Amino acid sequence: MRKINRTIDEKYKACPIRNVIEKFGDKWSLLVLYHLNERGTMRFNDLGRDMSDCSQKMLSQTLKRLEQIGLVARQVYPEVPPRVEYSITELGQSLMPHVIGLMEWATQNFENIVRNEGDL
C-alpha cells in the first residue's frame, strides 16, 4: 500500500496543473488579482478597503505569495513615510481572461451550487 501511495504522490508532484493552481487557488488570490487588474496600481490600504472581509495579515500573505510567483509586482518608494504600491504583472494579466471566465461562471451558477451543497 505504501508503494502505491508513493507512486501516486510522485505522479502528482510533477503535475503542472495541480502545482500551479495551488499557488493562487486560495480564497483571496483571485480577488486580489481582479482588483489590481480592474483598478490598476494600488496601495495596501486601498486593497484592504476593497476587500474589507480579508484581514490585513491574510492580505499581506496573499500579496507576498503572488509577488513571489510573479503575478504581482511590489514597488517601494524611498519616502517618509514609506510608500508601497502593488500592480498586476504581464504574467498576471495573462491569467485574467481565465479568472474573469471563472468569476462569470461562479456568478451564473452560485444558486445551484449552494442549493446542491444543502442537499449533502
> Is 42 strand, coil or helix?
strand
CA count, 13 A, side-chain hemisphere, 1: 0
Q: Is the pTM of this model over 0.85?
A: no
Q: Does residue 44 contact residue 95 with C-beta atoms inside 8 Å?
A: no
- In the chain the domains, ranked by start, together with CATH numbers, are 28-118 (1.10.10.10)
pLDDT (mean) for 52-58: 96
Give the model confidence (pLDDT) of 56-88 as tens digits.
999 999 999 999 999 999 999 999 988 999 999
Q: In this prediction, what percent of the chain has a pLDDT beyond 70?
A: 88
What is the C-alpha to C-alpha distance for residues 60 and 38, in angstroms, rounded to an integer? Answer: 19
DSSP code per residue over 69-96: TTSEEEEEE--SS-EEEEEE-HHHHHHH
**Predicted pLDDT of residue 9:** 66
What is the C-alpha to C-alpha distance for residues 9 and 3, in angstroms, rounded to an integer? Answer: 10
Give the model confidence (pLDDT) of 27-50 as tens digits.
999 999 999 999 999 999 999 999
Q: What is the dihedral of CA 44, 66, 58, 48, to 10 degrees?
A: 30
